[in-house]
Structure 1
């Protein structure tokens, strides 16, 4: 019996040493390793790593036993997506770009951490899938074209909401505006995720133009103009994406 216990202890020691070695090698060859001079980015990455791990662990822990494997799979996919996005940000050579992406993932993690146990999985899917475009909270220090377009769309949406004469009407308009905002964010995130700079520029320009049209419209016409112009941009983006997919096939 003593011999078996000693053998088990030796196995544990060997495995522990192997794990430590793998961890060291992983750190040395980490595809997300940042340039030595990126001090600010490293601070953001450290905070982001802690919060995203807490968020992912929370999603798995909150899942009922029957859904646990599904939650683990969803978390692993989000981790992969995050690593790809951060890898692209690192490869860009722009520290501000990396800080923007890392900051956005930190905010997404905060949303998951704050969500109720039942809502953590859904919140993760929504919050983390939206992290691709620059973080508006860092404007104007990040992508200039993005920040200008974001400012214009926010102004346009606020103008539409302000046209509501009564609280009830304003609430209904706010719901319509929210749908357009979500569609706009989704379209912009998608082109950023694809990484085609020309498409990014065209999409941002199209939404900026739509926002200008809303801002220029008379108050009674703002809602109609918003639905017409923003929906047209989203439809055009969808057609471009479909054409691109067909061409690749």
Structure 2
């Protein structure tokens, strides 16, 4: 299945953009009530998924909504052992997660120890076999181009389904068009590319899609999409 962005010359509509958004709430102070509101808002906006912390599972998803549940793993530092990441991912899937967004050991990528990066990803992949989707967060703002390419190649070799720019929590920043384009060039059509961190407007979303993103991590989805409904907005996750 190809994961390349559409070749259409027309800019993506808010509805089309919503359909590739992981509507995200990862603030450590998030409550059950906040996550319930997140789910309601995601259904109202028509986003692809909600993305939450593992401790917030299981979630109650309205029947027939088609909403996917994504969860983070080894978040946000990636400095957990592979065994811990694998156990966290497996437990999350057992509690209802459909997708897992794991953070690599960014220091290993900085040291260009890509065999270690691949082994870390492979451990999580083994714990959550398909059809669970595995996205690999490489924290691209911290990496140079060679390190981005190496981390993406490790994700491909380890059997991941997506590479993802950022946690949204690192002071170095979030997604950039350059990083997304380089990630797309590296993985080709084999993997999806998720842009997250600082995607706040329709223009931001469209630029990331044009660069090659096929999924977007967004906490302020209502503001981005310009939607005006009765559902109360959720708190921003800084994502």
TM-score grouping bracket, smaller chain normalisation = under 0.3
In the superposition, the TM-score normalised over structure 1's length comes to 0.22
Structure ranking higher on relative contact order (CA contacts 8 Å, 6+ apart): 2
In the superposition, the TM-score normalised over structure 2's length comes to 0.23
User: Which structure is higher in strand share?
Assistant: 2
